[in-house]
Amino acid sequence: MWEARVKKALAVMIQHNLVKFEASERNNNIAEYSIIHHNVYCLLRYPKYLYMIKRIYGTSEEILLEILLNLGQASASNVIFQSANRLKEANDDSEFSDPSALHKSFLKLAQDNFIIRCPKLADNANIQKVPTLEVEEKEKFTVPHLEIGPIAKLLKENATQLGEHGDSEVIWRVNHERFDVELRNVILVNAAARRVDATAGELYHLILKLWRECSNPDSPTTNALSFNVIKDAVRKNEGSSPVLLEHFEQYLRVLYEDTSSLIIRVGDAGGGQFVLNYSTVFENLACATLDSIVLERFGSKALRLFRLTRIQKFMEQDQMQNIAMIPAKEAKMFTYKLLEHNFLQIKELKKGTSNFAPVKSFILFHVDLPQQVARTALEASYKGLFNAMVRQMHDLTDNKRLLDKHARLETLLETLRGEGLPEDELAYLSDSMTAAEKSLVARIHSMNDHLTLGQTQADDTILILESYLKFSSMT
């Protein structure tokens, strides 16, 4: 019985791309299963995925992605069929019986790499106890020919199951790596908009699209783009604002002259050559994030010491308090607080004067950004995110009956208001919940909103720190 449950659990997790298997190195006839940590974490980002796809494309693509996320892995025909059924039920309109529009939407998602083919059985899989899965690079985003006619016929007949279809062996899943790139770009665009204004963010978004088309997204530095290429792209872009068209050169100059290194000028050919160094940009973003964490936890004086040490590389205690202009007692207290929480590290240097004299040692403080500080902040962000999720679940579970009662009452009042019931009768019905209950519901909803916002901000911090650690390890 337990063996059957374990098998079922493994099958479900493999179906949803949370677990992978491969032949054991010690025995090729035994399969070893391992969890895909990043994909498990990405479960929290599914709402962001859906919002992003809806913003970029529209509702049809959002429904396709939602169906695929719910199924984990599925054929294109199955995803299109279920999405058409969902749209048909939601709109009660015969227009959605024709799945050809959804087919075009599916092609867009594959073309832009938001969905990817799953590996299929290798040619020699039949002779192996543990099958090998593979997919050719050129086929990863290629959608095979789909038979739209039979799908449309089944939809007209109000069928609930697709049955056998031609592409049943070509299975698709969501491409988390592509969404990571897009979420990363959102952070960079927001950073540009905060540093300058919304128009600069618009220009930077367009430049990031050009870089994505000509560069490997996992490379620490993009290929160079010329001034003329960027200017042509701005002119051809239908959504470009008049302000950007008029002041294009000024906005580009502001971006590449800014100390945040969002754009780096590397040459003068073609009006100027521009690249993006992900390692430098995310180091600056990580430093800003860590500065914010230190300020919130320890105050402005501790932040001054932390920044000073990071900029100067190595400093003695006396140097720190003198340059930061902080009293010795406070400087020592904040220094050791930062040291205790792993935001500062120490390095001991020994200097021998002679063979017989005692060895003199110097204690230097420094900031080990990639190996210590960033990883400490990343771990704290994971813990904070988990705590927010647990607290949110606790509040919603403990007050489930009250929240259900409030939801039913609100639905009833909305229905009766639409039917034209007098306000005094609606007020009488509303009084079926006491003032204390209403106040508690409002407090729970407010707390829930704050916890949801906190989770979103923690995820942004995690993405910045993970990106910094990823690109810093490449340089």
Task: State mean pLDDT over 336-356.
Answer: 80
Domain membership flag for residue 427: no
Domain-embedded: residue 311: no
Of 419 and 61, more confident: 61
Final residue before a domain boundary, out of 156, 174, 192: 174
How does pLDDT run across 209-244, given as a tens digit for each residue?
988 888 888 888 888 888 888 888 888 877 777 888
Quick one: which of 97, 77, 78 has its CA closest to 89? 97
Residues 154 and 184 in one domain: no
**What pLDDT does residue 382 have?**
95
Note whether 102 and 150 are same-domain residues.
yes
**Is residue 265 situated within a structural domain?**
yes
Is residue 160 located within the same domain as residue 183?
Answer: no
For residues 249 and 254, what is the distance between their CA atoms, to the nearest angstrom? Answer: 9
Residue indicated by tokens 């054991």: 24
Residue 353 has pLDDT above 70, yes or no: no
Domain boundary among 276, 301, 317: 276
Higher confidence at residue 466 or residue 196? 466
Residue 323 placed within a domain: no
For residues 149 and 204, state if they share a domain: no
Domain that residue 114 falls in: 2-174
153 lies in the same domain as 184 = no
Quick: pLDDT tens for 287-339: 999 999 999 999 999 999 999 999 988 888 888 888 888 888 888 899 999 99
* CATH number where 188 lies: 1.10.10.10
Q: Both 223 and 247 in a single domain?
A: yes
Q: What's the CA gap between 452 and 469, in Å, rounded?
A: 26
User: Average pLDDT for residues 349-358, to the nearest whole number?
Assistant: 64
Instruction: Give the pLDDT score at 131.
Output: 81
Q: What is the per-residue pLDDT across 246-298, written as a single tens digit (0 to 9) for each?
A: 888 888 888 888 888 888 888 777 678 888 999 999 999 999 999 999 999 99
Confidence of residue 93 (pLDDT cuts 50, 70, 90): low
Closest by Cα among 376, 377, 379, 381 to 455: 381
Does residue 326 sit within a domain? no
User: pLDDT tens digits, residue range 241-256?
Assistant: 788 888 888 888 888 8
Distances (CA, A) of 96 to 166, 188, 290: 22, 38, 50
Q: How confident is the model at residue 356 (pLDDT cuts 50, 70, 90)?
A: low
For residues 152-177, give the mean pLDDT: 84
Same domain assignment for residues 191 and 141: no
- Tell me the residue type at 217: P
Asked if 31 and 107 sit in the same domain, the reply is yes
End-of-domain residue from the set 210, 244, 276: 276
How far is residue 333's CA from residue 318's CA, in Å, rounded to a whole number?
13
State whether 382 and 455 are in the same domain: yes
Residue 357 is predicted with a pLDDT of 57
Give residue 418's pLDDT band: very low, low, confident or very high (50, 70, 90). confident
Does any domain span residue 396?
yes
* Residue 400 belongs to a domain: yes
Model confidence at 97: pLDDT above 70? no
Domain count, the chain: 3
Query: 43-57, 105-119, 238-252, 350-364 — which is least confidently predicted?
Result: 350-364
Query: What confidence tier does 132 reach under pLDDT thresholds 50, 70, 90?
Result: confident
- Cα distances from 353 to residues 329, 348, 360, 402, in angstroms, run 31, 16, 8, 76
Same-domain pairing of 166 and 203: no
Is the domain of 23 the same as that of 125? yes
The verdict on 19 and 168 lying in the same domain is yes
189 within domain boundaries: yes
Position 443 confidence tier, pLDDT thresholds 50, 70, 90: very high
- Spatial CA neighbour of 344 closest among 311, 316, 325, 372: 372
Residue 422: pLDDT above 90?
A: no
Per the listing, tokens 């895909």 go with 36
Model confidence, pTM: 0.87
pLDDT reading at 125 higher than 70: no
**pLDDT given for residue 384 in this prediction:** 94
Q: What is the pLDDT of residues 455-468, one digit of tens each?
A: 999 999 999 999 99
Closest CA to 303 of 327, 281, 326, 328: 326
